[in-house]
Structure 1
Amino acid sequence: MATQHKEISFDAFLSSTPTIKELTEHVNVSNNWYLVGTMLELDQKRLKSIEAHVGHTDAHKTVAMFNLWLETTPTASRRQVLEAMRVDAVEEITLAHKYEMHLMELHQTIYVPPSTEAVLILQRNIQSLSKALVSPVQVSQLLYCKRCISEATLDEMERIDHRRSLDDKKTTLLTAMKETVSNDYRKLKDIATVLSDVEETRDIANEMMTKYEEKIPQEEDGTVVQPQEVVGSNANRASDILRNNYSALSQSITQPVHVARLLHGEVISDEALSCVMYNRGFDSRAVLLKAIRDAVHSNYKHLELFVTVLRKFSETAHIGDTIFEEYRKHFSYDDDVSENEVFFAERNRDFQERPMSTSSE
């Protein structure tokens, strides 16, 4: 039987009409067929006509009774059959229970909601993903930008704890991905899109996307969820701007120690600077980005200072421009920012001056 993806509750399923095949196979009421027909409010003359058939067994008469019911009752439902079997006059309690259990299994088999299908697709690829993920922290940063994991999960991924193994981080990330898909099955497409941009997981991601498109019809996926505009404090708005550009930042910052030194004191703490300097490679970048997220949460204007620093590096200047354009849409901005420039120029004269304007050029 082909799987149907339209979500329907079990209660609604009980209100739908059964087939004669289903009733014949699972509702053998034997010599109680006449009583069941009466409870289903069938015409007594027609029931007596069925009863008068010489040589017909109770099984034949049961089928005839149910056929009559289906033909003459537009509102015939599975629920009515269950109720008829449970009345005191019939007392087919055990049979009713077995039939209801069968209906539960049938409902689960036929009506697989997209959310369940999406979780199953991800679950089938969990082991392969676990083996293929070589940089779970980097992948978590990409997923965070796409709203595929929470900030709490990203905090856990970017936190430096040398007692945690690579497998521990993989488990944390994969668990968060499953939770996301359970809450919104459409997020599986976003996750697959992110993973397809990572060489080690590209083939797995493409397979997941193929299965998604095969198992979940387009009409089920037709509702486009528009990103909601962030409301609330200035810090929340600034944090959301930072999140929008997190993927680009995680891949473009190549000198995290230099960036940290420039931001030290004004944006990030002594402890954060020490941690960035102590760790190298991806870890130092993760420490830096987490420190910046924390700083922007505490004061939205820290994002403004971060943009000034980004514009001092050729590899991140364009990201600084993008962040600034988003920033100025939400906040009143003073074009006279020479004070910031002078401050950072004095801190590190080795970097070329880049004025804070609407363009990094």
Structure 2
Amino acid sequence: MSSSTPATAVVAHAAGDLRVEAIEVPAPASHEAQIAIAYGGICGSDLHYWMHGAAGESILKAPMVLGHEIVGTVLAAAADGTGPAAGTRIAVHPATPGGSGARYPEERPNLSPGCTYLGSAARYPHTEGAFATAVNLPSRMLRELPAGLALRDAALAEPAAVAWHAVSRAGGVAGKRVMVIGAGPIGVLAVAVLKRAGAAQIIAVDMFDRPLEIATAAGATTTLKADDVDAIAEIEADVVIEASGNHRGLASAIRGTVRGGRIVMVGLLPSGEQPALISLAITRELELVGSFRFNDEIDEVLGALADGTLDVSAVVTHEFGVDQALAAFAVAKDSAVSGKVLLKF
């Protein structure tokens, strides 16, 4: 491909300034394929760039195309012969691992200090995202969809891989009592993964009724309101998945975990010091385990979506055309009414 391709993209310019605008997609490099994006899921980080001009310590310094939860079809295969052929339906692994001198386990590239992610302002120049009708992506990011798996169903593969990784960090959950705090998309996807993994009881906790309804549809056996502190403390869960990203959620996790139990922290708390019930965690010998993004779990997720053993149909609550991106982001922001919100390109 020798010339640029016109496309429509969702671009964050600054806090409160989100635009749907025309862009030019350059000819892909030899290791890149050009992709026609079909669906994109709005993630919490996308919302933060829109609302605050930053996601954690990643500060927007220039306009950036958002989006990393994407699926589509290959328009043109990579010129170097790597990756899938034109016409192939694909999901995307949005990470590019990289080192910067700091040590990390080689088998866990998600922890590499120089790792970049599509649609991230962690570095400058920013790593452009893929909320666009056409994008160029390295062929190594592309995962061919199994036969029979629809693009719309595969649109949840990336966040489901985050949940899958979190559940794997819990160790074996079959036959156990598991509590999930925070029934946003990641929390509900964790419920679905836990159900597939054979958890005996899955208790979902949230502030609002609608997320708890979605969690129940995804496989939660019990639900609790987040402000019912006494009921949460009585759960004595073997494992807790903390997906709220709030220090109050972490406090509930510590109170609601059985002595000797494990808490997997997948909800990303704000940077800086956070209050925590550490003395209780110490005296109960709780294990607090971090969970960040994922590695190759997206391949297992695609297989489980295709064979029907992972049912995430309840998670998507809204779908908007790309021209309605502003309305879509507004709905996604309101966790009382929405689960996962998809953009259709």
TM-score over 0.5 for the alignment?
no
Point out the structure with max Rg over C-alpha. Answer: 1
TM-score by length of 2: 0.25
- Higher share of residues assigned helix: 1
- Higher share of residues assigned strand: 2
- Tell me which of the two structures has the higher relative contact order, counting C-alpha pairs closer than 8 angstroms and 6 or more residues apart: 2
TM-score by length of 1: 0.24
